């Protein structure tokens, strides 16, 4: 599908998808360097996913995402680099922000504009205008202001409403444009207070999304990004299917090898049993021969009683005693062989059972597609595609940049042109 075609169909389709996606809440943090975006992201996630510290230059230099579950609901938070950083050029930062489009596709449910209490400067104003200008005026409908450093208000014993009464007119104007959607947080508060604020934030976002028709924010950039991610998701599914086929073939081969090994083991056991039966029969015959010999000698001794010399009589007695010892030894050997026979019968039964089970398993999966190896649902596929964007996997990230470039947005075109020269 071409980018042009995706623009014509994507908006309604994507919004419908978002409306059906009640299990995921996507948020993008934007704001000036030092406003507390990363700390706010950590508060929402309940863990230190993003690097946050007091600094005059942006600590976040790459767009990244964090995820957590709020109950059974997945929260996805994208942290963006701060604009107007003294150490990073704006077009470099803008390039990273463009990455968040792919990471939060098919679109964020909320754009959280993070502003530090007492720091609404000309640069803060330009940050707001930057996003409105390039992401489209509709982004205002999905924007919520997050005021940080609530602790400073507490020290002055002020409420956020009292602070806004004396705030610069420009700040009042952006609050008005956001229809008074704001929340004040203290990222240094205790865990229970942070959780309370996160619950309040999610409630306000849900109210905002409901007012917007239950859909996420989309524009041509997100439509183009969704087209790219859809192709990548198809590739992931195809790769997964190929991996599944390889695993199934491997499993099938393993079944054959196991059956072959068990069959060989059974053949060896049968050979050993045949040899043992021969040895047992031989011992039985030897025992019978001994018994016959003892009877013959005993009869000879009885017939010649009184006629034999003492030495000859003693030799016959010793011969009979030797034959009896040999008989005892043969009896012991026969008993031992019987025990071995019973053990081999048990081993042979196990081998036969193993072969039967393996053949039954192979029969259940006679078709390669019958072997259940793993599962890849839509959520997992999209997460893998997002990972590729976040990790800047060459193919998908280059394609994403090119697609966004074709959308024709000025700031992206310049950044992408610069980035393309680096590749």
Residue 76 lies in a domain: yes
Determine, yes or no, domain membership for 397: no
Count, in order, helices (H) and strands (E) of the chain. Answer: 13, 6
Q: How far apart are CA 112 and CA 15, in angstroms?
A: 19
Residue at 380 is within a domain: no
- Same structural domain, 194 and 283: no
| CA atoms lying within 13 Å on the CB side of residue 287 | 15
**pLDDT tens for residues 353-365?**
888 888 787 776 6
pLDDT in the model for residue 40 = 94
pLDDT, tens only, 205-248: 999 999 988 888 887 778 888 888 888 889 888 888 888 888 88
Residues 139 and 260 in one domain: no
In a domain, 386, yes or no: no
Count structural domains, the chain: 2
Is 195 within a domain?
A: yes
230 is a domain residue: no
What pLDDT score was predicted for residue 4? 37
Asked whether residue 13 is assigned to any structural domain, the reply reads: no
- Cα–Cα dist 1/6, whole Å: 7
Output the pLDDT for position 182.
95
Q: Containing domain of residue 317, as a range?
A: 251-367
CA distance 334 to 326: 12
Are 175 and 262 found together in one domain? no
The per-residue pLDDT for 373 is 60
Q: Are residues 57 and 112 in the same domain?
A: yes
**Closest Cα partner for 114 from 161, 163, 79?**
79
Distance CA 252, CA 225 (A): 40
Sheet of strand 64-70, all strands in order from the earlier edge strand to the far edge = 64-70, 73-79, 24-30, 110-116, 143-148, 182-184
- Whether 210 and 261 map to the same domain: the answer is no
Same domain (yes/no): 176, 310: no
| Token pair of 260 as six digits | 């072959």
Same domain, 182 and 266: no
pLDDT of amino acid 200? 95
Confirm whether 130 is domain-assigned: yes
User: Which of these, 114, 132, 127, 129, lies nearest to 217 by C-alpha position?
Assistant: 132
User: In the chain, which stretches have pLDDT less than 70?
Assistant: 1-22, 52-61, 82-98, 119, 133-134, 305-308, 364-374, 405, 407-423
Count the neighbouring beta carbons within 10 Å of the beta carbon of residue 293. Answer: 15
Is the whole-model pTM more than 0.85? no
Same domain, 304 and 361: yes
Same domain, 281 and 212: no
CB contact set of 121 (below 8 Å; sequence gap of 6+): 32
In angstroms, the CA 223 to CA 405 distance is: 13
């Amino acid at each position: 599908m071409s980018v042009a075609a995706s623009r014509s169909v994507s908006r309604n389709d994507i919004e419908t998808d978002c409306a059906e996606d009640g299990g995921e809440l996507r948020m993008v943090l934007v704001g000036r360097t030092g406003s507390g975006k990363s700390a706010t992201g950590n508060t929402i996630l309940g863990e230190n996913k993003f690097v946050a510290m007091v600094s005059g230059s942006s600590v976040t230099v790459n767009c990244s995402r964090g995820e957590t579950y709020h109950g059974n609901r997945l929260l996805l938070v994208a942290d963006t680099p701060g604009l107007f950083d003294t150490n990073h050029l704006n077009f470099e930062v803008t390039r990273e922000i463009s990455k968040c489009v792919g990471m939060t596709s098919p679109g964020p449910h909320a754009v959280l504009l993070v502003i530090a209490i007492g720091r609404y400067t000309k640069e803060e104003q330009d940050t707001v205008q930057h996003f409105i200008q390039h992401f489209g005026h509709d982004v205002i409908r999905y924007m919520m202001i997050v005021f940080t450093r609530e602790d400073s208000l507490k020290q002055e014993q002020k409420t956020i409403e009292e602070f806004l009464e004396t705030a610069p007119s420009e700040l009042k104007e952006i609050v008005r444009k956001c229809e008074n959607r704001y929340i004040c947080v203290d990222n240094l508060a205790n865990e229970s207070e942070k959780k309370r604020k996160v619950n309040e934030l999610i409630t306000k976002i849900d109210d905002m999304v409901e007012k917007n028709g239950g859909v996420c924010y989309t524009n041509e950039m997100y439509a183009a990004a969704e087209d790219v991610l859809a192709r990548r998701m198809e590739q992931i599914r195809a790769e997964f299917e190929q991996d599944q086929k390889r695993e199934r073939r491997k499993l099938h081969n393993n079944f054959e090898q196991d059956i072959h090994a068990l069959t060989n083991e059974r053949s060896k056991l049968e050979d050993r049993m045949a040899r043992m039966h021969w040895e047992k029969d031989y011992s039985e015959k030897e025992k019978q021969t001994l018994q016959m010999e003892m009877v013959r000698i005993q009869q000879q001794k009885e017939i010649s009683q009184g006629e034999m010399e003492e030495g000859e009589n003693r030799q016959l007695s010793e011969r009979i005693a030797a034959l009896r010892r040999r008989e005892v030894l043969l009896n012991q050997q026969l008993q031992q062989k019987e025990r071995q026979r019973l053990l081999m019968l048990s081993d042979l039964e196990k081998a036969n059972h193993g072969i039967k089970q393996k053949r039954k398993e192979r029969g259940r999966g006679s078709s390669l597609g019958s072997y259940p190896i793993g599962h890849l649902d839509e959520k997992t596929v999209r997460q893998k595609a997002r990972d590729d964007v976040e990790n800047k996997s060459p193919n998908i990230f280059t394609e994403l940049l090119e697609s966004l470039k074709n959308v024709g947005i000025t700031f992206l075109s310049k950044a992408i042109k610069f980035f393309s020269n680096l590749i």
